[in-house]
Amino acid sequence: MLHSGAGTELTALAGALSAAVGTTLSGKGAIAEDHPLSVGVTGSMGTSAAAAALAEADVVLLAGTKAGSGPTFGWTLPAPGQAIVQLDLDPAELGRAFPVAAAVLADARPGLRGLLTALDEAAGAPDRAAWRSRIAELTASWRAERDVERASDAVPIAPQRVLAEIEAVLGADDILICDASLSSGWGGVYLEQRRAGRQVLCPRGQAGLGYALPAAIGVATARPEGRTVVLAGDGAMGYAAGELATVTELGLPVTVVVLNNRSLGWIRWYRRINFGRGWEGEDFSDVRFADVARAFGLAGMRVAEPDRLPGALRTACSAPGPALLDVVTEPWQTPITAHRDAVRDSATSGPVTRRGAPRDSAAPGYGG
């Protein structure tokens, strides 16, 4: 969708059909997320509004997506009984992940335009005021939940609060690059992108740790007019720390934000949910990333209290060269719905174990 530049067509077709639009993490920005029909990112790292809209739809249009396990909740949504129309440029994708009622082989932009023309010729879509108000209800309730989390004053700092503060400093020309693991979920779900276009980048499949800082070097070199913000876990930073020398050497306008939960958070969750134990081997000693940054020649700041975040972020983002913020975060926060569900379910039905976790099949796999 983003590669094809089909944002205008997507928004027009959604408007004509009164369709809710959810994006994958890779497709975030295909529609501005404050559009009344946008339900945000869909999937295991996604919004409750997107999950509900996807579950309640009669017809689902998969457009330019591989429909991988993340956005489809382990291929459980769309469910049997929901009609699927798929549009893709690659014939091998059509019907590959889900059986489809109809398929369109086309690039997204002309393909969506063609659907819009066909809809006009068929005398337009019926009045769907009820569905529009359902979408409004779902998005309002999602935003209310999210905003409570984003306003957290907790110490250690909630990652949700970090995303609220990043959203506040991110200008229209700035780019956020999230590393693999939970950082992709935090950026994808808790930052509301109010303009269409590619502003948030995540590694495909949220797979390879250490992606964000090297990616930022590429982005900042190609677009020096904007600030490039990296969001990475402490584990991910360990993979890419050597590149701090490169951003310093090149004097790039890169701000690195480390969500330092002193652990391989996703792995901790994986073991907790699937084996009923864990966090023996996943916890690190506290790495002082601000000191690491200074050793590489960048400005480095450690932030442990939420009310210091806005000022520290503004300083780090207005420096002409690179800077790093080491944010001490709460280790048991997660953007993954299945993790939260498993904890909630275990509170009523005993410890979380492989057999005991009702949503285990929908839990995202190791490494995303």
Binding mask 146-185 for ligand TPP (x = CB under 6 A): ----------------------------------xxxx--
Near ligand TPP in 230-249, by CB under 6 A: 233-236, 239
Cβ distance to ligand TPP smaller for residue 73 or 239 = 239
Near ligand TPP in 316-335, by CB under 6 A: none
Shortest-Cβ-distance residue relative to ligand TPP: 233
User: Residue 50: what residue type?
Assistant: A
Cβ distance to ligand TPP smaller for residue 259 or 309 = 259
% helix, strand, coil for the chain, step of 5: 45, 15, 40
Binding mask 280-299 for ligand TPP (x = CB under 6 A): --------------------
Q: Does 267 bind ligand TPP (CB under 6 A)?
A: yes
- Smallest gap from Cβ 62 to ligand TPP, in A, equals 26
Near Mg ion in 177-236, by CB under 5 A: 233-235
Under DSSP, the state recorded for 208 is -
- Smallest gap from Cβ 232 to ligand TPP, in A, equals 6
> Do residues 3 and 105 lie in contact, with contact meaning Cβ atoms separated by under 8 Å?
no
Instruction: Give the contacts of 281 (CB within 8 A, at least 6 positions apart).
Output: none
Cα torsion through 176, 308, 161, 207, rounded to 10: 40
Going through the chain in order, the beta strands assigned E by DSSP cover: 21-23, 38-41, 59-63, 83-88, 102-105, 175-178, 200-201, 228-233, 254-260, 299-303, 323-328
Cβ distance to Mg ion smaller for residue 75 or 332 = 332
CA-based torsion, 221, 223, 224, 229: positive or negative: negative
- Smallest gap from Cβ 143 to ligand TPP, in A, equals 24
The single residue among 105, 136, 155, 207 that binds ligand TPP, judged by CB under 6 A, is 207
CA-based torsion, 306, 185, 61, 134: positive or negative: negative
Instruction: Give the contacts of 322 (CB within 8 A, at least 6 positions apart).
Output: 244, 247, 248, 251, 252, 253, 254, 255, 256, 298, 299
Distances (CA, A) of 187 to 4, 179, 182, 322, 327: 23, 9, 9, 20, 15
> Do residues 320 and 254 lie in contact, with contact meaning Cβ atoms separated by under 8 Å?
no
Q: Total residues at the site for Mg ion (CB under 5 A)? A: 5
181 binds, among ligand TPP, Mg ion, none (CB under 5 to 8 A by kind): ligand TPP
The single residue among 22, 265, 300, 335 that binds ligand TPP, judged by CB under 6 A, is 265
11 binds, among Mg ion, ligand TPP, none (CB under 5 to 8 A by kind): none
Q: Total residues at the site for ligand TPP (CB under 6 A)? A: 21
Q: Does 199 bind ligand TPP (CB under 6 A)?
A: no
Q: Does 266 bind ligand TPP (CB under 6 A)?
A: yes
Q: Does 214 bind ligand TPP (CB under 6 A)?
A: no
296 binds, among ligand TPP, Mg ion, none (CB under 5 to 8 A by kind): none
Q: Which residues pair with 258 in a beta bridge?
A: 232, 326
- Helix or strand (DSSP H, E) at 167: helix 159-169
191 binds, among ligand TPP, Mg ion, none (CB under 5 to 8 A by kind): none
Q: Does 306 bind Mg ion (CB under 5 A)?
A: no
Q: Does 44 bind ligand TPP (CB under 6 A)?
A: no
Q: Does 44 bind Mg ion (CB under 5 A)?
A: no
Cβ distance to Mg ion smaller for residue 321 or 331 = 331
Give alpha helix (H) positions in 301-361. Answer: 309-318, 337-349
Cβ distance to ligand TPP smaller for residue 151 or 207 = 207
> Do residues 10 and 31 lie in contact, with contact meaning Cβ atoms separated by under 8 Å?
yes
| CB burial of residue 198 (10 Å; 0-12, 13-18, 19+) | middle
312 binds, among ligand TPP, Mg ion, none (CB under 5 to 8 A by kind): none
Tell me the C-alpha distance between 141 and 123, whole Å. 34
Give alpha helix (H) positions in 223-264. Answer: 234-240, 244-250
Q: Does 190 bind ligand TPP (CB under 6 A)?
A: no
Q: What residue ranges bind ligand TPP (CB under 6 A)? A: 180-183, 207-210, 233-236, 239, 259, 261, 263-267, 367
